[in-house]
């Protein structure tokens, strides 16, 4: 097996990683956010519910005294006076971010707990060995099949955080094939991100964005389906090229005649049924993070019963599994803290106001391509898909109309910008959670994904040009 230089972080003489720890990296980004609250003007749009009202942006006076950086009790910004963040308010944003993200964080931890019970049952390892035996360990068959399934759930149903539970399974598969954690993480992340980038019928992205620009909900799916097929094919080929360069090996000790035990079959049947329930729960019953977290607790209990575990063994496995998701949950809370810092100092609306001014009054092609870049930049500050739609679409929609860009194309620009940057931005709590779960350093991920990111960006620009000139 070839070893990957991209798969492991650079190490010092003592064998320790020289790359910045993800928590330290998020704290550094928080300090940058604090600096932005001093550098950028504060301002605000009027809002109706969550949506901004175009043409209502107003500057708000801001006190930029650097002594406030050390204020223990910083004043809160309001409609009349804005205040930059202090170091104290930045630290206070951490528990606030954790609190605001609590449903998602606990759902992720319960995923870890359920997976801990599943791994303890032995059914997952046995099932993967059986899968490898049946397919001959052909990674060129397994990779596209798995990526198509994951991407379909993402683009049609909006699944994204739910796939955190898939990454540990892929880690076991990668280990069996002598492939590292980067392969396992990339298999899930590329497929899920491509699904969101295309969002053929993704309700989480489209249910807010399309009505704002007054186009029928879920309309325009034809072009987005073409985007999905092409981008996913390139993503699969990119990962398989990585596999070809690294090499892989099929376990020699696989027993092609060995059958799964009855308890293992029961457990895997529970896991298979849970996938169906998740699809129905998220798409039909509109489950949120709380309901999903509840479901993962219940699934962990059912798996323990099916495997015949003792209560103590099951509980220990569940707690141990939750521990493994602690870093992922913390990173999501820290990413939310960055958004809170910028929001509380009233600079987010200033950013969208000035970015929108770049494309306003331009030709339709420049305006459309510019909207992709605007959304990509906004994604660094507002990783939330729904949050970004609420603040950007009411502004960019009318600008697109005046420039001759259809509402459908404005939505496409939103999806492209949102999906592209979410592949690389360190402020995306979900991306960092994927990397933490897969035990892949952010630096190693960037080195691996940047060429694919560049290809996707160029293709997105080409698709946008086609959308503009075809009247999409």
C-alpha–C-alpha distance, residues 398 and 377, integer Å: 20
- Is residue 130 in a domain? yes
- Is residue 363 in a domain? no
- Is residue 293 in a domain? yes
**Domain of residue 139, residue span:** 100-329
- Is residue 437 in a domain? no
Sole residue written with tokens 């951490």? 94
Burial class of residue 254, CB neighbours in 10 A (0-12, 13-18, 19+): middle
Q: How many structural domains is the chain composed of? A: 1
- Is residue 78 in a domain? no
pLDDT at 5: 35
- Is residue 13 in a domain? no
pLDDT at 4: 40
- Is residue 266 in a domain? yes
- Is residue 249 in a domain? yes
Per-residue pLDDT of the chain (472 residues; tens, 9 = 90+): 333 433 444 554 444 556 678 888 899 999 999 999 999 999 999 988 778 888 899 999 998 877 778 877 778 889 899 999 999 999 999 999 999 999 999 998 999 999 999 999 999 989 998 888 888 889 999 999 999 999 999 999 888 888 888 999 999 999 999 999 999 999 999 999 999 999 999 988 898 899 999 899 889 999 999 999 999 999 999 999 999 999 988 877 766 667 889 999 999 999 999 988 988 888 788 888 999 999 999 999 999 999 999 999 999 999 999 998 998 899 899 999 999 999 999 999 999 899 888 888 888 999 999 999 999 999 888 888 888 888 899 999 999 888 899 999 999 999 999 999 999 998 888 898 899 889 998 889 999 999 999 999 999 999 999 999 998 9
């Amino acid at each position: 097996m070839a070893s990957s230089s991209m798969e492991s972080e650079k190490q010092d003489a003592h064998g320790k990683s020289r790359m910045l720890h993800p928590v330290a990296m998020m704290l550094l980004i928080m300090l940058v956010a604090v600096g932005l609250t001093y550098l950028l003007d504060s301002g605000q749009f009027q809002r109706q519910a969550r949506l901004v009202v175009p043409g209502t942006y107003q500057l708000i006076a801001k006190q930029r005294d650097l002594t406030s950086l050390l204020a223990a009790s910083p004043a809160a910004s309001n409609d009349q006076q804005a205040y930059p963040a202090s170091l104290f308010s930045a630290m206070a944003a951490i528990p606030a971010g954790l609190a605001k993200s609590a449903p998602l964080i606990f759902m992720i931890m319960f995923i870890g707990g359920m997976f801990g019970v599943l791994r303890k049952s032995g059914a997952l390892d046995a099932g993967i060995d059986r899968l490898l035996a049946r397919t001959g360990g052909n990674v060129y068959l397994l990779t596209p099949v798995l990526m198509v399934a994951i991407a379909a759930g993402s683009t049609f149903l909006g699944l994204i955080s739910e796939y955190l539970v898939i990454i540990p399974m892929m880690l076991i598969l990668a280990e069996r094939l002598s492939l590292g954690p980067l392969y396992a993480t990339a298999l899930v992340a590329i497929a899920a991100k491509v699904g969101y980038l295309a969002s053929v019928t993704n309700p989480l992205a489209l249910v807010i964005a399309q009505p704002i620009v007054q186009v029928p909900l879920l309309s325009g799916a034809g072009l987005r389906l073409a985007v999905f097929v092409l981008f996913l094919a390139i993503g699969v080929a990119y990962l398989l090229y990585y596999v070809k360069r690294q090499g892989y090996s099929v376990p020699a000790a696989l027993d092609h005649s060995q059958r799964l035990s009855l308890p293992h079959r029961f457990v895997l049947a529970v896991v298979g049924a849970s996938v169906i329930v998740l699809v129905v729960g998220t798409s039909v019953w509109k489950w949120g993070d709380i309901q999903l977290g509840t479901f993962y607790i219940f699934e962990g209990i059912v798996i323990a019963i099916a495997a015949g575990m003792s209560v103590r063994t099951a509980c220990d496995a569940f707690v141990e599994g939750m521990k493994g998701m602690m870093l992922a949950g913390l990173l999501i809370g820290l990413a939310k803290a960055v958004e809170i810092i910028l929001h509380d100092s009233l600079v987010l609306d200033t950013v969208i106001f000035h970015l929108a001014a770049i494309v306003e009054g331009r030709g339709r092609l420049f305006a459309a391509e510019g909207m992709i870049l605007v959304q990509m930049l906004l994604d660094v500050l507002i990783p939330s898909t729904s949050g970004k739609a609420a603040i950007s679409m009411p502004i960019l929609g009318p600008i697109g109309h005046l420039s001759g860009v259809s509402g459908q194309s404005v939505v496409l620009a939103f999806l492209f910008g949102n999906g592209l940057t979410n592949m690389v931005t360190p402020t995306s709590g979900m991306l960092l959670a994927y990397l933490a779960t897969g035990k892949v350093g952010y630096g190693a991920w960037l080195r691996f994904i940047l060429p694919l990111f560049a290809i996707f960006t160029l293709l997105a620009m080409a698709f946008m040009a086609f959308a503009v000139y075809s009247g999409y």
